[in-house]
Structure 1
Amino acid sequence: MPRANEPGRTVSSRLWDLLFAFDPNNTELSLADLARRTGMPHATARRLTLELVEAGALERTSDNRFAIGLRLWRLGTLAPRAETLRSAAQPFMEDLYTALRQHVQLAVLQGDHAVIIERLSAVNAVGLTSQVGGLLPLHCSGVGKVLLSHSSPAFIDEVLAGRLQRFTPKTIVEPAELRRELASCRSTGTVVVKEELSEGAESVATRIVDGRGKVVAALSVVVAAGSIKLQAAVPSLVASGLGLSRSLGWRPGIPIRTS
């Protein structure tokens, strides 16, 4: 694909480049930031950014930076997969949060990452670097491992053959060990992750299944390392996962399949 400043790029593709320059860690960007992150000439970035502001897709902040506009945010809330899951999951997540008073989060597969589509968090819960809308690696997060384990063998091979980043000393990056863990997750529907993504944070995650037996999401609880016994949280988490799966049409006897 040509770079943003090369001929052959359509106007619409350059507009998308500007919008996708924003992410959970960069919610406000200057014009210089946008030009640098997209590779566009400054004049082109300025002209297209102002068009997005006029359309309501971007908004100008008080310090002359830019952020995603309310009109675009409202459009994003109409995404059927995320909104259906979020609505169905809300009562189950609230029950888990009430019982455990920790982070409770829901994630789906997006490309080669897990994306968080909902989270409930206690004020004193362990600090996390990711936010709602943020991406998590598949090989070392609880929700990521659940989603990866129920993906196709070809996709698993692709992920494990790639660069497996070591985020902490406890991150598992050996493909053979990860394959064993993924096989166990497919069998049990749950996985426990201890300080692999963030030091001081542990999680337990379970699968969410729809009426066709397809794993469509993962539900997890994230706690401060050593604050509770994770195995004690498994029954409540699994019960919530089964309840949410039933609300999506799954019933016992429907075989759980991989993508």
Structure 2
Amino acid sequence: MTTDADRPRAVRSTSAGPPRGARSGGARSAPDRLLSVLGAFDHDHPALCLTDISRRAGLSLTTTHRLVGALTDWGALERDESGVYHVGLRLWEVAALAPRGLALRQAALPYLEDLYEATHENVQLAVRDGSEVVYIEWIAGRSSVGVHIRVGARWPLHVTGVGLALLAYGDPALQEQYCAGPLAAFTPYTITEPGRLRRVLAEVRRSGVAVSDRQVTDDALSVAAPVRGPDGQLVAAVSVVVPQESAQVPALIPAVRLAARGISRALGWQPETSGG
């Protein structure tokens, strides 16, 4: 089974309605309307005509035309010869300034490449956004596993190795809130019981690595480790994804740990040393 990882079907709607965050009806501020236009675009809708933007943003056609014009003039949107709009390069320039975006990717890339050379498997870097992981870098491996990641893909925290690592080392209040909420299932192996999830998170903290076994598709396994910033704060997680049937977890763990430690050091993290 092949699943496009930027569209988890158990939690994402396949309807043609407005995207997440779009609101219709009631008084809406100017910034809210502007952001709704940008929010109309996603991985499944990278190119939209004016009518589609209006519908997905929940705005009138007149308002949409005015806002799209302003965004196009600024460079946030681009219009092709057929009249279809795409996200503009100006947004990429702004996004590159995000400390959890391009800067983190640039610091991590040498270590991600080393991890790939050591395993020749799928290598990923992700950050947490609310109750989801967002993949900000990936290197495709030689294995044809069921999950195919691309930059910007999102998954619930509990179903991926990077998500488990980010959740396990996150704020305890976040963990309790997440465990108390609904846990979407994607395979018969997906963790859906709060008690089991708490035990898994405790094991991640004990071992320093997270193993996600057939949580998203029944042919993939991932091993992940947390990445820390200058003050020791959790900033990301790195993982390798391999076919579950031939996974050599004991051999993967040291390689993933080494990559996470290298990225952390590149970001300014210094491991605690015992006195003596």
Name the structure 1 match of 2:145: 126
Relative to structure 1, the CA distance from residue 55 to residue 228 in structure 2 (aligned partners, 3 Å threshold; closer, same or farther) is: same
Name the structure 1 match of 2:209: 190
Please state whether the residue corresponding to 1:44 is helix, strand or coil: helix
1:116 aligns with 2:147: no
Bigger shift: 173-182 or 163-172? Answer: 163-172
Give the AA of the match of 2:247: I
1:161 aligns with 2:180: yes
Give the AA of the match of 2:72: V
Per-residue CA distance 1:22-49 (angstroms, 9 max, x = gap): 2223222232332222211222223212
Unaligned runs of 5+ in 2: 1-20
TM-score (structure 1 length as normaliser):
0.90
Give the aligned length. Answer: 254
Please state whether the residue corresponding to 2:123 is helix, strand or coil: strand
Please state whether the residue corresponding to 1:170 is helix, strand or coil: coil
Per-residue CA distance 1:119-159 (angstroms, 9 max, x = gap): 11136543534420121210111111100111111111111
1:106 aligns with 2:117: no
Per-residue CA distance 1:208-233 (angstroms, 9 max, x = gap): 12232211110000122223323321
Please state whether the residue corresponding to 1:169 is helix, strand or coil: coil
- Of 39, 48, 52 in structure 2, the residue corresponding to residue 33 of structure 1 is 52
Is the Cα–Cα contact under 8 Å of residues 213 and 254 in structure 1 kept in the other structure? Answer: no
- Of 196, 210, 222 in structure 2, the residue corresponding to residue 177 of structure 1 is 196
Relative to structure 1, the CA distance from residue 187 to residue 69 in structure 2 (aligned partners, 3 Å threshold; closer, same or farther) is: same
1:212 aligns with 2:234: no
C-alpha distance in 1, partners of 2:148/2:132?
15
TM-score (structure 2 length as normaliser):
0.84
Relative to structure 1, the CA distance from residue 3 to residue 64 in structure 2 (aligned partners, 3 Å threshold; closer, same or farther) is: closer
Is the Cα–Cα contact under 8 Å of residues 192 and 203 in structure 1 kept in the other structure? Answer: yes
- Of 256, 264, 269 in structure 2, the residue corresponding to residue 245 of structure 1 is 264
Unaligned runs of 5+ in 1: none
Relative to structure 1, the CA distance from residue 115 to residue 235 in structure 2 (aligned partners, 3 Å threshold; closer, same or farther) is: same
Is the Cα–Cα contact under 8 Å of residues 24 and 131 in structure 1 kept in the other structure? Answer: no
Please state whether the residue corresponding to 2:245 is helix, strand or coil: coil
Per-residue CA distance 1:67-120 (angstroms, 9 max, x = gap): 110111121111123233212111110111112111111111112211111111
C-alpha distance in 1, partners of 2:112/2:249?
17
Is the Cα–Cα contact under 8 Å of residues 139 and 178 in structure 1 kept in the other structure? Answer: yes
